[in-house]
Chain A
């Protein structure tokens, strides 16, 4: 396709359309013979001791570009992105909080960034101690005895958790066949249960949007391995009957799994271990401030109750009486490993830096998060429909019901928010709220930002009544307008071709 991309000698911009034109691909900037690297001359004899049949010729089509072009390309490209440092992302369940820069500096210390996971134990004590300390801190925050840092992200943590439950039940005689999951759950929950070899049974929420105790009693048989719940749930409502829920599950020998995506609502205030939770994953890239980086990396540590400790992924990090640290591979009842090495170590450094900055004041995170979400709720109540109106914790889920009567959907509202300088809220779940607007400001937003957000949302609601067309065709001021996702899926172009 011939594309109008921004060239170096671009004509002056039209003030009515000031946004930048699409940028060339790095391959489109390439030129034969251009060079962007420098390597020292080879100081050993030149040789190629591999049979020609096993070797390739040149990498046809690969980039040839200078460092200057690279600097410009990636700088210009970056400016097409919204980011937390620019403004609010009130994305429910994502916990888009500020990413402290101390974290970045610490992660880049050569002792961490240039260290290798297979170096001898005696010269790896720094990494082992860091991992051990982070585990202890997360254990303290969750009120559960042991933690594994191995899973690469929340979804992998969920899988690890359910695999440990399965192993524990196998030890007791039979792994059972079912896992119960509320209909409000995030999609990774049933996907993870499926990968652990379980059949998912969906639990319908009660009219409040929380777990229906009657339905749970009825569904909780001795064929159910676990109930996977989110606390607070994906509506931002605290499962206040959690102790009863745990009792029902435990009475039949099942395990209570807690999806810790919403830990920001009560970290430092309450402990899941005291709620009867047996296993819980956390997201370092949510609650613990490690950066989202455009979609990863994450890290999904899992905290477990005593019964599940023998089944932790292999190896575990242990401390000897003399204070040295080591990796324990001798774990015959372990579920095995879910990935190479210890986990996303670079994220451990960042999370530890973050937790150290708060220390025993970490409860202020949850208190700030809950205050901010409720402030937004108060500002938008009556303006947007609240299907489930139980008390909100760190996030509030409105719906587009009032506006859809006027022909405007949550997607349209989200797109219009971009014109006001905000990133849209989460919309793709929970499935029990049609047309959801899931808003989680986090504790790192101040009152002026919250006021601006509330104002923007109220303005958009007014626009839905008075000038709905401008909302339906939004956004109008972003680098690109609404994209043709249908066309993208029907005619798949997934790469550039030389």
Chain B
């Protein structure tokens, strides 16, 4: 077996040195009743593995081989070759959590830089080393707000937040004595501001709004934060399309206390939905309650600048049942990919990527709106994603288009049973969509040959 470096001769020498007869003896404590060899096929060589997995991969449509317009929480953005190839370096790929700072300064400095990028983009002062992904990041943000609220029990969530994020919140909250109230979006596609304010009371510890929201509509952070402040609650800003942070007003400037969500759009491949890259940022006054890992700057014994994990006492391995979270792993490698990506694109590139994504989506939206039988039901401004309403059921339409190599959108029926959902689907565009691709979608929806 090529991953086992020990020869038979070496094994014999080791057993002799240990005074053991056989490896079997070392398993003496394992009762016979529980031993069983697994019923698995014989080992595959590397060539056979490539054939096997290559075969499976070919059964999937992917963004490179199709006209691609899927979003809803995972986006097809440009990722530079160097960003991907840097991840092959052994020192990045095969290194461990930086618990020993003397031999992990690479990882630690990378995380410090990632934390900084997140602060710059969200307009908040402190960010953690990353969380698993957007939905659990929202859960962590809400739990953080709950801890800070000292005894409040209600979270108010906009129904514009991604349905899978809200479902995750309900799963986590089901066994904690906490209430979740959802506020609907209005006819323009944005959260109903009056309903939001009305839902918030003295029992509320957090008010959470997503922008751009699940329907692609850009929301005003100030509406959520005003509603929160009026009753002494904390305001949580949720972002699922992180490239939007380069163009839209940052949560920190809109009164948000905590920003959280999904940073996949900033340098992480789609990977069929995981691994992704959750993020969380907050104000300095709340930093001791932030979950997950944190890297801080310090000096070493000889005065050099150095970085280390800090405030670990909040974490599970020390506080155990009193921990701020049970999270252990973060998304180290994805945070690296994102740091490289954000550094490469930088100030100008992030903005240009956002503007291009927006412009492509606007072009597409205008063209689709002109097709008979299609309309854009929500009037609110959108960033790079919007809802289209067809005059037939969307899911079968999208399947037909997929068979022709066009992944036109995500049907809302996947997430809702309302009759209006059945004919609606979400369309996303990014800088990766060439104009010819956009035109091809328009032609296909118009019933013309694509």
Contact = CB atoms under 8 A, between A and B. Distances in A.
Nearest to A74: B86
Please indicate which of the listed interface residues A1, A35, A126, A483 has the most CB atoms of chain B within 10 Å of its own CB. A483
Contacts of A25: 109, 112-113, 116
Interface string B49-81: 110111011111111110010101110101010
B232 interface: no
A478 B102 contact: yes
Given A60-B120, A110-B62, A293-B333, A79 B106 contact: yes
Given A42-B356, A86-B91, A340-B134, A349 B53 contact: yes
Interface residues of A, number: 211
Contacts of A34: 346
B34 A274 contact: yes
A218 interface: no
A291 B333 contact: yes
Given A67-B344, A77-B106, A112-B272, A155 B94 contact: no
A270 B133 contact: no
Contacts of B84: 108
A96 B96 contact: yes
A117 interface: yes
Contact of B92 (A65, A294, A335, A487): A294
Interface string B293-326: 1111111111011111011000111111111011
Interface residues of B, number: 206
Given A106-B49, A374-B26, A345 B271 contact: yes
B103 A50 contact: no
A429 interface: yes
Contact of A119 (B164, B382, B407): B407
A246 B42 CA distance: 33
Interface stretch (A302-310, A365-373, A402-410, A432-440): A365-373
A339 B109 contact: no
Interface stretch (B10-18, B180-188, B199-207, B369-377): B10-18
B1 A364 contact: yes
Contacts of B42: 359-361
A375 B17 contact: yes
Contacts of A22: 105, 304-306
A44 B359 contact: yes
B274 interface: yes
A71 B402 CA distance: 38
Interface in A202-252: 237-238, 240, 242-243
A342 B103 CA distance: 34
Given A75-B89, A294-B110, A370-B27, A126 B329 contact: no
A100 B3 contact: yes
B153 interface: no
Given A4-B305, A272-B34, 14 more contacts: A36-B343, A59-B121, A110-B63, A127-B272, A156-B132, A195-B176, A295-B107, A296-B275, A336-B171, A338-B136, A339-B136, A341-B273, A346-B269, A378-B18
Interface stretch (A8-16, A444-452, A459-467): A444-452
A84 interface: yes
A114 B36 contact: no
B176 A197 contact: yes
A195 B296 contact: no
B198 to A, nearest CB: 23
A206 B217 CA distance: 60
Interface string A140-154: 110100000000111
Contacts of B48: 356
A36 to B, nearest CB: 4
A387 interface: no
A343 B152 CA distance: 32
Interface in B203-253: 218, 220, 246-250, 253
B30 A269 contact: yes
Interface string A115-138: 111111011111101100000010
Interface string B398-419: 1100110001001000100000
A493 to B, nearest CB: 4
Please indicate which of the listed interface residues B3, B120, B403 has the most CB atoms of chain A within 10 Å of its own CB. B3
Q: Which 9 A-B pairs have the closest CB atoms?
A: A111-B57, A341-B273, A293-B333, A197-B175, A117-B273, A336-B171, A295-B332, A446-B5, A85-B90
B249 A482 contact: no
Given A71-B82, A269-B30, A339-B132, A110 B57 contact: yes
A412 interface: no
Interface string B92-120: 11111111111111110111110111011
B73 A485 contact: no
Given A188-B328, A295-B96, A342 B273 contact: yes
